[in-house]
């Protein structure tokens, strides 16, 4: 028994899903995307054109610029289209929307992305909504929807976006702090909860370290790009994932067995909560982590509480490169764990200062 904030089933689902998506071609085409002016230099005016530019920018970061899309700003009361903005040859005059569907495939290989007017008022919510839509578009383009049961597909879109390099944005959207009359509360604009989303981000970071080290984002920049909830959880997630480096390696080298669940996840030798101290344990108690409610709209409670006032084209399917075991690294990993954990803990401690 540990005091880590994700369950065994949640952790295994992240690794299985990551392997399924990797097999379908989900990989970054550049460094992890951060919520900075470097990645998002466009001015935001709060209108449909600004939302369209933001979505186009996200598409370019993950190599989906060649897919035509139309962003539709809709009235959440009746679902009517308030305004729209299209790109890549997608005509909004022929758009058909479906109530409750964030991403709707259209004729000719284009997609309609629905955004509610209320979601324009909070930049983190808006970015999260569009980031999740990117994951949904990828899953349809890669024909991987059938790999996930219907009630898992919303969380799979979160995971797909993370695997494409948008994990920092997903993690930030999974734990949004909202100040209210009763103090600060944490809400999620994702289907994955904050613990699971941050664990998925840690998997993406370790995957980059193993497969594309030149793309690695410096740790200080990564932490600066994370909001407080995800920043506090990341050290625990990294410690857990680094202890299971062999499984992460197989996500790319031999994804089929991992996607089928043929792997074992190991726990670090010490309690994660004990390793990272009282600030993190206190945060976990406040958040009250558990399995997310797949039937509920994760934005509903957030909106009530808050009064929300250049990449290459991507091709689906990666070839497997054969099995590779991480067992030969276990002895070295054990000797370096303590030093690495101390480094991560120090960085997290700085975030509480």
pLDDT in tens, 200-223: 999 999 999 999 898 899 999 999
**Which pLDDT belongs to residue 342?**
53
> Is the predicted pLDDT of residue 142 greater than 60, yes or no?
yes
Residues composing the chain: 353
Are 172 and 130 in contact, with CB atoms under 8 Å apart?
A: no
Would you place residue 81 in the very low, low, confident or very high pLDDT band (cuts 50, 70, 90)?
confident
Q: Note whether residue 91 is domain-resident.
A: no
Strands 111-116 and 103-105: antiparallel
Q: What angle do CA 10, 331, 277 make, to 5 degrees?
A: 50
Spatial CA neighbour of 32 closest among 312, 316, 225? 225
User: Terminus-to-terminus CA distance in the chain, angstroms?
Assistant: 30
Q: Please give the model's pTM, rounded to 2 decimal places.
A: 0.77
Q: Which of 51-60, 82-91, 96-105, 319-328 has the highest mean pLDDT?
A: 51-60
**Which pLDDT belongs to residue 74?**
86
pLDDT, tens only, 105-120: 988 889 999 999 889 9
**Which pLDDT belongs to residue 95?**
46
> Is the predicted pLDDT of residue 323 greater than 90, yes or no?
no
Would you place residue 310 in the very low, low, confident or very high pLDDT band (cuts 50, 70, 90)?
very low
Q: Note whether residue 113 is domain-resident.
A: no
DSSP conformation letters of 136-153? HHHHHHTT-GGGS-GGGH
Mean pLDDT of the chain: 79
Q: Give the range among 2-16, 31-45, 248-262 with minimum mean pLDDT.
A: 2-16
Q: Per the structure block, which two tokens stand in for 209?
A: 């370290």
Q: Note whether residue 266 is domain-resident.
A: yes
Distances, alpha carbon 347 to alpha carbons 202, 231, 340, in Å: 15, 10, 11
**Which pLDDT belongs to residue 352?**
42
Q: What is the C-alpha to C-alpha distance for residues 186 and 189, in angstroms, rounded to an integer?
A: 10
List own/partner pairs for 244-247 with CB under 8 A and 24 or more apart: 244/15, 245/206, 245/210, 245/326, 245/329, 245/333, 246/325, 246/326, 246/327, 246/329, 246/330, 247/15, 247/326
What value does the mean pLDDT take over residues 333-350?
A: 50
Q: What percent of the chain has pLDDT above 90?
A: 55
Please report how many Cα atoms fall inside a 13 Å half-sphere around the Cα of residue 245, on the Cβ side. Answer: 19
**Which pLDDT belongs to residue 90?**
53
What value does the mean pLDDT take over residues 171-188?
A: 85
Q: Note whether residue 144 is domain-resident.
A: yes
Q: Give the range among 51-55, 163-167, 197-201, 276-280 with minimum mean pLDDT.
A: 276-280
- Return the residue matching tokens 């957030």: 302
Region for residue 217 given its phi and psi (left: phi exceeds 0; alpha: psi -120 to 50; beta: otherwise): beta
> Is the predicted pLDDT of residue 316 greater than 50, yes or no?
no
Strand partners, 73: 83, 115
Q: Note whether residue 94 is domain-resident.
A: no
What value does the mean pLDDT take over residues 334-343?
A: 50
**Which pLDDT belongs to residue 269?**
62
Q: Note whether residue 146 is domain-resident.
A: yes
Burial 187-216 (b: 16+ CB within 10 A, else e): bbbbbbbbbbbbbbbbbbbbbbebbeeeee
Domain boundaries, position 269: 8-31+122-351
Distances, alpha carbon 181 to alpha carbons 175, 187, 189, 256, in Å: 19, 15, 21, 49
Are 165 and 29 in contact, with CB atoms under 8 Å apart?
A: yes
Number of compact structural domains in the chain: 1
To the nearest 10 degrees (0 to 180), the angle between helices 8-23 and 153-161 is 70
Strand partners, 186: 177
Q: Give the range among 92-101, 134-143, 167-176, 237-246 with minimum mean pLDDT.
A: 92-101
Q: Note whether residue 105 is domain-resident.
A: no
Name which residue leads in pLDDT, 296 or 7. 7
Strands 69-74 and 111-116: parallel
Strands 176-180 and 81-87: unpaired
Are 48 and 115 in contact, with CB atoms under 8 Å apart?
A: no
């Amino acid at each position: 028994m540990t005091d880590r904030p994700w369950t065994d089933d949640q952790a295994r689902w992240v690794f299985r899903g990551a392997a399924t998506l990797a097999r379908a071609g989900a990989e970054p085409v550049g460094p992890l995307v951060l919520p900075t002016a470097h990645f998002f230099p466009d001015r935001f005016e709060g209108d449909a054109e600004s939302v369209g530019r933001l979505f186009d920018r996200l598409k370019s970061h993950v190599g989906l610029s060649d897919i035509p899309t139309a962003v539709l700003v809709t009235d959440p009361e009746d679902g009517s289209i308030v305004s729209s903005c299209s790109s890549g040859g997608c005509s909004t005059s022929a758009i058909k929307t479906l109530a409750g569907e964030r991403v709707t495939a259209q004729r000719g290989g284009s997609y309609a992305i629905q955004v509610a007017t209320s979601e324009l008022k909070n930049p983190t919510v808006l970015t999260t909504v569009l980031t999740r839509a990117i994951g949904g578009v990828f899953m349809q383009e890669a024909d991987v929807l059938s790999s996930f049961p219907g009630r898992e597909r919303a969380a799979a879109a979160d995971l797909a976006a993370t695997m494409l390099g948008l994990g920092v944005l997903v993690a930030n959207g999974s734990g949004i702090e909202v100040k209210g009359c009763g103090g600060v509360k944490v809400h999620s604009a994702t289907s994955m909860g904050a613990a699971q989303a941050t664990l998925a981000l840690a998997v993406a970071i370790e995957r980059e370290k193993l497969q594309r080290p030149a793309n690695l984002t410096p740790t200080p920049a990564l932490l600066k790009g994370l909001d407080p909830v995800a920043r506090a959880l990341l050290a625990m997630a990294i410690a857990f994932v680094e202890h299971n480096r062999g499984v992460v390696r197989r996500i790319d080298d031999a994804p089929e067995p991992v996607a089928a669940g043929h792997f074992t996840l190991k726990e670090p030798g010490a309690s994660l909560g004990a390793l990272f101290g009282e600030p993190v344990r206190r945060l976990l108690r406040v958040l009250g982590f558990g399995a997310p409610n797949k039937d509920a709209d994760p934005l509903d409670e957030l909106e009530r509480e808050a009064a929300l006032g250049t990449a290459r084209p991507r091709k689906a399917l990666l070839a497997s490169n054969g099995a590779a075991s991480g067992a030969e690294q276990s002895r070295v990993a054990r000797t370096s764990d303590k030093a690495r954990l101390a480094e991560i803990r120090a960085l997290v401690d700085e975030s509480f200062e």
